[in-house]
Amino acid sequence: MLTTFEALPPCAQEPLAEAPFDRWINPVGSVSAEFRRIPDGYYARFPGQADFSISLESMHVRGTPVEGTPPAVLESLYRNSIEPIIANHLGGLNLHGSAVVTPYGAIAFLGQSRSGKTTLAGAFARAGHAFLTEDVLTLTGDCSGYLVQPQRPVLRLFHDSAEFLLGTQPGWDDEELKQELVAGDQLPFASQSAPLIAIFLLRPDESDDVSLIPLSSAEALSQLIPHSFVLDVEDRQRLAAHFRRLGELAASVPCHALDYPRCYAQLPAVIDAVLNRVKLGG
In angstroms, the CA 111 to CA 248 distance is 20
pLDDT above 90: residue 65: yes
Q: What is the pLDDT of residue 171?
A: 63
**Same domain membership, residue 73 and residue 174:** no
In DSSP terms, 45 is beta-bridged to 34, 51
How many CA atoms, within 13 angstroms, populate the side-chain half-sphere of residue 84? 22
Q: What is the pLDDT of residue 167?
A: 75
Burial 36-60 (b: 16+ CB within 10 A, else e): beeeebbbbbbeebbbbbbbbeeee
**Same domain membership, residue 244 and residue 214:** yes
For the entire predicted model, the pTM comes to 0.92
Q: What is the pLDDT of residue 248?
A: 95
**Same domain membership, residue 30 and residue 133:** no
**Same domain membership, residue 97 and residue 156:** yes
For range 131-137, the mean pLDDT: 95
Residues 219-251 have pLDDT tens digits of 999 999 999 999 999 999 999 999 999 999 999
For range 17-36, the mean pLDDT: 92
For range 59-84, the mean pLDDT: 95
pLDDT above 80: residue 100: yes
Among 89, 114, 135, give the residue marking a domain's end: 89
pLDDT above 80: residue 178: no
Q: What CATH number should be reported for the domain holding residue 229?
A: 3.40.50.300
**Same domain membership, residue 185 and residue 243:** yes
Among 89, 105, 140, give the residue marking a domain's end: 89
Total number of domains constituting the chain: 2
Domain that holds residue 179: 93-279
- Cβ pair 140, 147 in contact under 8 A: yes
**Same domain membership, residue 244 and residue 186:** yes
**Same domain membership, residue 99 and residue 67:** no
Q: Which amino acid is at 265?
A: A
For range 194-204, the mean pLDDT: 94
- Helices and strands (H and E) in the chain: how many: 7, 16
For range 188-202, the mean pLDDT: 96
Please provide the average confidence, as pLDDT, over all residues in the chain: 92
**Same domain membership, residue 272 and residue 258:** yes
DSSP secondary structure letters along 103-166: TTEEEEEE--TTSSHHHHHHHHHHTT--EEESSEEEEEEETTEEEEEP--SEEEE-HHHHHHHH
